[in-house]
Amino acid sequence: MLPKSERKAERWFRTDVGFNRNTAQQLDRNIRTFPLRFSGVRSDGQARWDFSTIKNFPIGERVKAQFRAEVFNAWNHTNLGAPNVTPTSSAFGTITGTASDARTWQFALKITF
């Protein structure tokens, strides 16, 4: 594992140490997926703030309305996905995606009677 200060999406861990990356030399019967062997290879934690606000309005004696506004990932922080752990992949040791969506808003109006 690289120190946190050296990790980038292009190089999350050391790929040049102890990995046979030649597809022709891979054994066909005992290939395992790396999360079984390298359970310590993980992505960073998630930094995500979700907020919601709800307001109830009485319309009449028996009718009520509720307005709801929600925002997911409010600060629009990029959360990187897990690194690729397939040694024969050209993307081995790199992060090629994100683990969460960008900021998303959701509005709802509910009427009960």
pLDDT in tens, 7-62: 777 777 777 776 666 767 666 554 555 555 554 456 677 788 999 999 999 999 99
What is the C-alpha separation between 50 and 52, in angstroms, rounded?
7
pLDDT of residue 38: 55
Q: Which of 2, 108, 1 is nearest to 55 (CA)?
A: 108
CA distances from 36 to 27, 43, 67, 78 (A): 17, 15, 47, 27
Contacts for 110 with CB less than 8 Å, ≥ 6 apart: 65, 66, 68
What is the C-alpha separation between 23 and 88, in angstroms, rounded?
6
Contact criterion met (CB below 8 Å) for 9 and 95: yes
Q: pTM score > 0.85 for this model?
A: no
Percentage of the chain lying above the pLDDT 90 cut: 35
What is the C-alpha separation between 101 and 77, in angstroms, rounded?
9
pLDDT of residue 96: 84
The rounded mean pLDDT for the chain is 80
